[in-house]
Structure 1
């Protein structure tokens, strides 16, 4: 089952090509990491795929109606600011909006989805806390929970672990992995190559607006690619506990 299909997707801004000829598909049960240096086009790719910015080419998600898209994909952008002083449970319930009709109150299935999302992000004790009084990392977890509560086949998240402590970074990636095992798919942009290597089933490397590599982490993270794309050397080893990736030094 294809959850996202991009064909020759390109984005140009102010006469400058940001993305050029991106084609890919994402099926069920994948945890796909989008990696690349700053300015490579990772966020632009996700926003264009959702139809949030103008693009040339084709995106299967951008062709959907807003309501159909809301049931097909949950989106969490980089922005972590929560503007309204509402409690955690109410904010997470907003993820159920695509499943509710006009004026319809949440049903038992909606409350169950919210409860599951709160538990997954270890937020059950926070349910009655005011979101604007939480720390930045806690707010990030609330926003991830809102996306999880949407219960869509595809979850797209842009730098979700930024600002989280190491334990919650790992826990969040494990949650994404569990979703993939359950048949959902997650497309996540990451700067932490160690977490990407360890948890993702597939990596897509974006460099200079193009796909530089696409495949399993062990196949993608070659010494040449790491040097040419990121300008570093690194230690990479497949262990019984999974891949271990550690940047070592900047190389010319």
Structure 2
């Protein structure tokens, strides 16, 4: 059995309904993804990913010298945009996958010195964050919450770490609350992700996971109710790519 086939079989052995299993699945899955993340994200989004992230950041209010936490930071795209948006911000970026963090560190080394001094990347689990209550003005996440092993626990952590009145900003895949529309969106995402998983890695499961993870993620109406239940008020909730993605900005009550 070749290496790609072994990797594909190992992915199938995980039970994504179990938090610890999903956590290890994500840790392993994003190792090959880290090498091509920026390129494949552009392909999967039809070149729109950077614009969506800029839009997300633009919706946040002016805050002097904010403290910011970027969840599942990957190669650091949102962290760098936040550093540009807030020239006096201190930013912590966390990710489970060390290969992603290596890419982030490499990208950071090419940034101007004033940005390098304000961003710190380190390994971390969004369900067990080593920070004090009310420590951050902003929490961000690009394609983060959908990958959480325990969404409720992640939202509780976000709420705990935000200051009263603090903001959280997320970009992620989404599905309609309408049953038939949601099925169509999942089918399109599955086809598109599996196609490019095969092209980039010889393994359709790598990006087919996007649709699989979305099946167990709350639909649009459920997600808003969940956020409100955890003590957040919606500020902006914008659809992108025919509703298959959402830009979400919320405020801690």
The bucket for the TM-score relative to the shorter chain is 0.3 to 0.5
> Could you state the TM-score of these two structures normalised by the residue count of structure 2?
0.32
Structure with bigger helix share is: 2
Q: Larger Cα Rg: Structure 1 or Structure 2?
A: 1
> Could you state the TM-score of these two structures normalised by the residue count of structure 1?
0.32
Structure with bigger strand share is: 1
Structure number with greater CO (CA < 8 Å, separation at least 6) is: 1
